[in-house]
Amino acid sequence: MTLRPIAEVGAELGLAPEDVLPWGRDRAKVSLDALGRSSRQGRMVLVSAINPTPPGEGKTTMSVALAMGLRKRGRKAVAALREPSLGPVFGVKGGGTGGGQASLEPAADINLHFTGDLHAITSAHNLLSALVDNTVYYGHPVALEGTRVRWRRAMDMNDRFLRNVIVGLGGKAHGVPRETSFDITAASEVMAILALAENLKDLEARLGRIVVGQAPDGSPVRANDVNAAASMVALLKDALMPNLAQTREGGPAIVHAGPFGNIAHGCSSVVGTRLALAYADEVVTEAGFGFDLGAEKFLDIKCRSAGVWPRGVMLVVTLRALKHHGGAAADKVAEPDREALLKGFGHLEKHLESVAAFGLPAVLCVNRFPQDTESELDELRAFAKARNVGIAVCDGFGKGGEGSLELADTVLAMLDATDAAPPKPRFLYALEQTPEEKIRAIARTVYGADDVAFTAGARKDLETARALGGAGLPVCMAKTHLSLSDDPTKTGRPRGFTLTVREVRLSAGAGFLVALTGELLTMPGLPREPAARRVTVHPDGRITGLMQGE
């Protein structure tokens, strides 16, 4: 496969040559100056999904497929997607660039180092960690209580052995011993900040607001207090510029930032979205995992912060995931099972209710697998028709843009219907509500919970967050992606449950509170058979095995 010159891809989008900064042959950074060179306002489609089975259901593949199909229909469409993290790439899922004929290119480069954004974020995060511990050691430039340090360390890899560590061992010359932890880079507040920052000035202001710990009198110590923000911006200056890549068919794609969907806010960058909206007719963007996680945060956090709003939602479903949520065994979901499929419709119904709670129209995108039968697809079509919801079966994985034309037409019909009266922002909660009220609003409306319980530790965390000025911030829920509830074993549409919040973290720089539920970990571990074991580097330098099925 021969990729288009990246300057040519930028020209198709309408970018000026001076704004496309090549990063190797097949990828580029886009200057932030490009945001001021276009007055176009494209129509945004938010791609989300039902709760996936562990391998995922191809949401990124369908996002790329939709962009390809729209381009086949003569539209100036761009996919604005997240950057993959090395943790999942070498862990359970493999690469995060789509699949088959509906993938981003250069896939291997995007899945590995790409333009170095993840490395820059990791470095900036750990620079702050070093400055924090140096402040504890010297008591300068501010008094920082070693037992009250809140800032952890980060690494872009799944490594369960780093979840709990002790630093500063070896005697006084080597530091002050204390317990700490590592988060995966995608869960770093620095990643969230980069994804939400509007420009370099905003980036530095957000970084400076990070609360790293407390002084002996209990007052907050921020990154600005340890003189960290400017040097962190120096590391992140290039990373703030969006990345330009292309689909397998040569269409433009903006791939930038990658907060996790289950333990962070799960959306690509604000600057990447703004860039796409300024140059494209249609912008296809996704949010992590199911609608209950990434999409809720996209709307309540990212859209509230950036002042943008989608025209509608494309909800990705698969027959196998519906049967999984209908009670079919994991090794049987590819087989015909009408009873399990019909039971699984209750799960889909809940997600459609959640979409409606935000005042948005929806279409269903069925990611077709070879084992899918027409009779079961007809059952799903009848379900959609009875609810007046558009539906399209997509074979983008096997046929690229040609296999995505029905999907493109269905989405265009939804968008055209909104032209006369575009949906207006509708959030689940007001910022003036208490953190507890915000969490309950999300849990009851989107998850279907009866109520929320807060552990003693979470209540203490909330009091600390209030004291540090975090009461008026939106909430970023950290929850399993495998269930609407906080229990990954509860598939389908759980009812009669109470969501338990066990910990709350203040992300003052990003501008939200993180509420952690269940046994969710901010540093994942590798599975018994990591994806890293199937990677091969060939004599010509070609890399295979990063994507499932290679």
Question: In angstroms, how far is CA 281 from the centroid of its own chain?
Answer: 23
- Helix ranges (H only) for 364-404 are 374-386, 396-399
- Cis amide leading into 141 (omega within 30): yes
Q: Which residues pair with 40 in a beta bridge?
A: none
Report whether 334 contacts 371 (CB < 8 A).
Answer: yes
According to the annotation, is 527 in a ligand binding site? no
According to the annotation, is 58 in a ligand binding site? yes
According to the annotation, is 285 in a ligand binding site? no
How is residue 226 written in tokens?
A: 């340890």
Q: Which of 192, 207, 233, 243 is nearest to 24 (CA)?
A: 243
- The three-state DSSP-derived secondary structure of 279-327 is HCCEEEEEECCCHHHHHHHHHHHHHHHHCCCCCEEEEEECHHHHHHHCC
Count, residues in the chain:
550
According to the annotation, is 549 in a ligand binding site? no
How far is it, in rounded angstroms, from Cα 511 to Cα 304?
11
According to the annotation, is 57 in a ligand binding site? yes
Helix, coil or strand: residue 356: helix
Report whether 259 contacts 265 (CB < 8 A).
Answer: yes
According to the annotation, is 359 in a ligand binding site? no
Q: Which of 123, 116, 122 is nearest to 185 (CA)?
A: 122
How is residue 89 written in tokens?
A: 């790439």
Q: In whole angstroms, how large is the CA radius of gyration of the chain?
A: 23
- Cis amide leading into 106 (omega within 30): yes
DSSP state of 522: S
Annotated binding residues for ATP: 53-60
Annotated binding residues: 53-60
